[in-house]
Amino acid sequence: MSAWAFVAIGYVLAACVWIGYLVVGRRRTRAEGPRQ
Amino acid sequence: MVMPGQRTGSTAGRKTTVMEEKRRGWRPGLGTLAGVAALASAIMALVVAPPDAIQGQSQRLMYVHVPSAWTAYCAYALVLFSSIAVLLRRGQRWDALARAGAELGVGMTALAIVEGSIWGHTVWGVWWTWDARLVTTAVMMFLYLGYLVARGLPGSPERVARRSAWLGIALFAQVPVVHFSVLWWRTLHQPPTLLRPDLEAPIAPLMLAALLTSLVAFMLAGAWFVRRRVAQLAPAAAPANETVEQPAAQPAPVRGTPVLARGDVTPTGAATAPLLLTRSRL
């Protein structure tokens, strides 16, 4: 594999991690109501 | 067609309007800034910045690897300061901030390790080596992973918050060990480029610009995540440690049935105790 391929894998992986944070950050846990 | 201000809440009695949804939902300010910065950093890192004279194109992984590690450092510092605030001010929002910081830090540490592994494979020829920087970083990740697991141990929200705060303060001792590991021990990992004891920065200006742009993008995205996460875990309407009396759903009184106030004694002798709920979102 060329160096660019590893660079591409690295950047796609970083994008996936941030998309994961985006999903967690947008999840609506407030709708569940207060916990007893 | 739904007009602004019109109620949309047909789901489970949630009285939300379009405007409320917009206020509580997407916050364009920080999120948009983070997106723009991420785009700019990708252009800077992949197009504008020159390849390294020795490592070639694979050095471009630095623009993801280093900001991941720095964001993790900042996230753990957030855990530290929030934990101190929990002990001093006993606020559930401080505790939520500490938890969000740990969640961000663990993910960023994992990303830094994996990116470093890919980079290491291209320039060192190995995916992993028992180098002081690598090992201390992995230890740091598992320590904070344990912090998040420990938060799930049983206990009242206040007890969990205080217990986690002590843990969050103690664990930060690992952060300087990670940073200075490349100076304290002979390591395969290179010494720091920017945060050096001699304050010099042996890096080309365009590379430095790309690195700082990427760092800004990571920090903005991290701040966006933490803000959203804290809003989820401890809504702003709930002040610190506030114990509120939750109005219980009262059925319509049947004709002839006496309406009892809280504290009254029912005909069967059972007291109607007030329903107390803590507005913690731990």
Average pLDDT over residues B213-232: 93
Q: Does B95 touch chain A (CB under 8 A)?
A: no
Q: Which of B68, B107, B277 sits opposite A36 (nearest CB)?
A: B277
Residue B237 clears pLDDT 90, i.e. is over it? no
* CA B214/CA B44 separation, integer angstroms: 8
Residues of chain B in contact with residue A28, where contact means CB-CB under 8 angstroms, are 232
Angle at which helix B62-89 crosses helix B205-233, to 10 degrees, equals: 40
pLDDT at B191: 83
Instruction: Give the number of domains in chain B.
Output: 1
Residues of chain A in contact with residue B14, where contact means CB-CB under 8 angstroms, are 31
Burial of B54-93, coded b for 16+ CB within 10 Å and e otherwise, reads eeebbbbbbbbbbbbbbbbbbbbebbbbbbbbbeeeebbb
pLDDT at A27: 65
Q: Confirm whether B18 is domain-assigned.
A: no
How do residues B111-122 score in pLDDT, each as one tens digit? 999 999 999 999
Q: Confirm whether B191 is domain-assigned.
A: yes
pLDDT at B258: 44
Q: Confirm whether B146 is domain-assigned.
A: yes
Q: Confirm whether B161 is domain-assigned.
A: yes
Q: Confirm whether B33 is domain-assigned.
A: yes
* CA B78/CA B197 separation, integer angstroms: 23
Distance of CA B228 to the CA centre of its chain: 9
Q: What is the pTM of this model?
A: 0.74
Q: Confirm whether B139 is domain-assigned.
A: yes
If one counts every other C-beta atom within 10 angstroms of the C-beta of residue A33, the result is: 11
How do residues B89-119 score in pLDDT, each as one tens digit? 877 899 999 999 999 999 999 999 999 999 9
Q: Confirm whether B183 is domain-assigned.
A: yes
pLDDT at B236: 62
pLDDT at B30: 85
Residues of chain A in contact with residue B26, where contact means CB-CB under 8 angstroms, are 26
pLDDT at B161: 93
- Which structural domain, as residue segments, surrounds residue B93? 28-241
